Amino acid sequence: MGENDILQEDMIVSWVRLTGILKNTRLTKGMIYNEAIVMLIVHRRYLEDGEGVVSFKEIVGETRMLKSLVNRTISSLVDKGFLERYDGATDRRTTFVRLVPEKLPEYLAVHARTLKLVSRILEVVGEEDAQAFVHISEKISAAFPPDL
């Protein structure tokens, strides 16, 4: 086994450990993990534009979840009152969801647990490594477009 092979195996093990920490620490207590992921995307848009309007297609692209899973997740969030669905004004074939502002405090309570973990990670790795992590993660994401 060559050095490159060992590095590749190390990368896989590191990836599995990190995703295990993020998914299995019950960060999203009170909300299903996939719901929290979708809400993260919608909330981020809300912070950008004050409305939190995101297309179904954008959510699929950002999460890399199957369309059927995104649809079920959105339906669950609509049923719980976190999101509302509506058709696009310019293209009726596109479905959008919008954040329900009255439910924002409930989501932020769940999100606070995630921020607490990320704050701990930032303490461990430091700001420079955290910025490098974001840069590397974005670079990897860009290299693997959603339609691959």
- Domain boundaries defined on the chain: 30-143
Burial 104-134 (b: 16+ CB within 10 A, else e): bebbeebbebeeeeeeeeeeeeeeeeeeeee
pLDDT in tens, 8-46: 899 889 888 887 777 666 666 778 888 989 999 999 999
Write down the pTM of the prediction. 0.81
State in words which class domain 30-143 has.
Answer: mainly alpha
